[in-house]
Structure 1
Amino acid sequence: MSNYPLSYKLSWLPRFLKPSLDGDGNGFAPMAGTLMQPPPGKTVRLAFIGDISAVANSRAPDCDPAIKALLGTADLVIGNCESPVVDRPSAVLGTKLGTHHAMSERFLAEALAAAGIAREKLVLSLANNHVLDQGVAGFDDTVAALRRLGISTIGLAANGPVQPVKVGPLNVGFAAFTLWRNADEDLFAGRVSMDPTGWQRDGFDLLCAVPHWDWEFRHFPRTGTRALARRLAGQGVGLIAGHHAHVVQPVERIGDAVIAYGLGDFLGTALARQPWPGRIGGIFVADVSADAGTRGAIASYRLHPFVRLRAGDYERLVPVEGLGGAMRAKVEGRLRAVFPSSLVGEGVAEGDG
């Protein structure tokens, strides 16, 4: 049994059809910011992407060269594997309807290649509500498939709450967890990380959280989500990049910590014919100091928005500035509403952190 409140379940379809701008927009930061001036001499670049799924894609996406170039500048790319990786789904009807997620190992490999993401530079979280959509066997198949592909994983309970990842000279700790599940708690327990407490920053230059949190199709995070972000920052987390909302959400700075509440989808996860506000995604790039004395400090960050356009049985990932007139105007208007203190319209800027 899932753990969604009834009010959440009843609001899913209305909010899917019309993503909400309701909520508190106060206290958020611009889409881009510089935290260290002058900048450090040496940096490591982390690029966070949103949810990855095959629900809206029968074939690998067509990725704009500017997006591929941006991802190519990263020393590490971090995303959320929203769909179990299985070649034969066990939940056949649910998979056809889109309620149960699944993607093949071949699709994932081809999608990553299309986006220019090197597998050895990729970390995927398995701490999400859909990871057991194909049962325990599907979960085990997913872990095995990612291992075969050479992709590192986070969010597995068996590996402990924080996973160390070497990124250049830095030792970065990643703590992924989900607050939501689509199956009984006993299926998730012991397999998927669900506890956002008890982490230790000791031994890490930077501690990053990758939470599956908040409510879907709402551009502004709930009060409880922001309170949890403050608690995580108080535990020593320096960078948070969230998933599950399926729409872009604001950025907030809490002390020296930077929080990107929601990055939307990287590849469509909620039905093929999704309304346009849910087609806006973001790539959150953070440059982290590797200088002695400031190792692990966030030097600068920037959220790079893009849009997933439907093209037959696959999606085209296009920077905002690559859109046509009416669509671009709508997207820029929505981004101004979510990021009122930002200069909107620059889209994906290659090499600009």
Structure 2
Amino acid sequence: MSNYPLSYKLSWLPCFLKPSLGGDSSGFAAPAAVLMDPPPARAVRLAFVGDISAVANRIPPECDSAIAALLASADLVVGNCESPIVERPSAVLGTRLGTHHAMRERFLADALAAAGIARDKLVLSLANNHVLDQGVAGFDETVSALARLGIRSIGTAAGGPVQHLVIGPLTIGFAAFTLWRNAGEAVFGERVSMSGDPAQWSSEVGAGVDLLCAVPHWDWEFRHFPRPVTRALARQLAGHGVRLIAGHHAHVVQPVERIGDSLVAYGLGDFLGTALARQPWPGRIGSVLVVDISADAATRGTIAAYRMHFFMRLAAGGHERLVPVEALQGVVKRRVAARLDAIFQTGQI
């Protein structure tokens, strides 16, 4: 019922066990840049986090105060809700094995509180391959749970290809979509946005927005460098006016690319563990992408600065500790620094 090609399925386990550094590593940008100097007098700060799930976390995480402070500084936090929110999973065996995702409403609420993320400043995408893991009823329960928690959602078919959100003085259009599904095409497409071709969007989707942002669930998992077809789609999105792209699904950190005045962060890694509890260490590196958007009249909607802040998800007896890379020590710190340098090629991380 999924739409994954056979070559992808055959490569999943080898890449999970040893996340790949193969592929084209040319043409990427540094993970931090100031694009407007001097900075704008007024700005809106967006913070993008990766996939959120309870597959490897039955207990809410511990979050370093520096990460919580960073997230609290944002006017809006954007993430991917990788697990349906249900009280009683319908796919009981698959949920126990980790092939079907699920998390309880209380877990999500407690995890957000631990990370310093205010619910009224959070938007979660439901455009991912796991969102129907607990069936249609689980999808409906997820939508209801987010509404009950006061969390806005994007990426539903009902919301259309682009959903507008007012963030302070700016209106931002979010195009959240998934290229992958784990359920039948008809039942999935009726509920989840798979509108990844901007050429098919209405010409009116960008009307009235200061910035058009895409939140795609794309590329192949456990590969640090995006595939050529993924980079081609990024160029296509940029060509249709998308100025900011923050991707999910790879479950590992991927590099940043500048395409004209558009910024593409191909993969942020996981924010909370979405693979098995004994995930290899490269898959435990995550990032928070912080982007400042100008709200000044002359440069309204322009990206003023961006930076990826890296952290490590450390296993801690049934839950995880989110620790900034700078706070790591010893062998772990050296391994993580070497991996990040290989991805971003700065020699400075």
Is TM more than 0.5 here?
yes
State the distance in 2 between where 1:35 and 1:232 align.
21
**Quick one: which of 201, 206, 219 aligns to 2:206?**
201
Are residues 1:326 and 2:331 paired? yes
1:323: how far off?
A: 1.1
- Normalising by the residue count of structure 2, what TM-score does the alignment of the two structures yield? 0.98
In 1: Cα distance, 2:291 partner to 2:326 partner: 22
Alignment correspondent of 1:120: 120
Q: How does 1:256-275 map to 2 (within 5 A)?
A: 256-275=261-280
Is it true that 1:47 corresponds to 2:68 in the alignment? no
Residue aligned with 2:173, SS: strand
DSSP-derived class of the 1:165 partner:
strand
1:311 alignment partner in structure 2: 316
Alpha-carbon distance, 1:34 to partner: 1.4
CA shift, 1:104, in A, is 0.2
TM-score, normalising length: structure 1: 0.97
Q: Which amino acid aligns with 1:241?
A: A
Contact persistence 1:30–1:342 (CA under 8 A): no
- Does residue 163 (structure 1) correspond to residue 163 (structure 2)? The answer is yes
Residue of structure 1 in register with 2:29 after alignment: 29
1:73-84 alignment runs, 5 A limit: 73-84=73-84
Q: Would you identify which runs of 4 or more consecutive aligned residues in structure 1 move more than 3 Å?
A: none
Q: For 1:272, what is the secondary structure of its paired residue?
A: coil
> Per-residue displacement from partner, 1:127-183 (whole Å, max 9, x unpaired)?
000000000000000000000000000001101111111111000111100000011
- 2:302 maps to which residue? 297
How far 1:6 sits from its partner (Å)? 0.5
How far, CA to CA, are the matches of 1:342 and 1:25 in structure 2?
Answer: 15
For the pair 1:336 / 2:341, whether they are aligned, the reply is yes
- Are 1:106 and 2:99 counterparts? no
Q: CA deviation at 1:35?
A: 1.3
Q: Which residue of 1 aligns with 2:148?
A: 148
Paired-residue identity, %: 73
- What's the Cα RMSD here? 0.7
Residue 342 of structure 1: CA displacement? 5.8
What aligned pairs does 1:219-234 form with structure 2 within 5 A after superposition?
A: 219-234=224-239
Change (3 A) 1:261 1:342: farther
**Counterpart secondary structure, 1:278:** helix
> What is the Cα deviation at residue 341 of structure 1?
2.7
Q: Deviations over 1:272-301 (max 9, x none)?
A: 010000000000000000000111000000
Residues 208, 342 of structure 1: CA spacing in aligned structure 2 closer, same or farther, 3 A cutoff?
farther
Equivalent pairs counted in the alignment come to: 344
User: Partner residue of 1:350?
Assistant: none
- What is aligned with 1:96? 96
SS at match of 2:215: strand
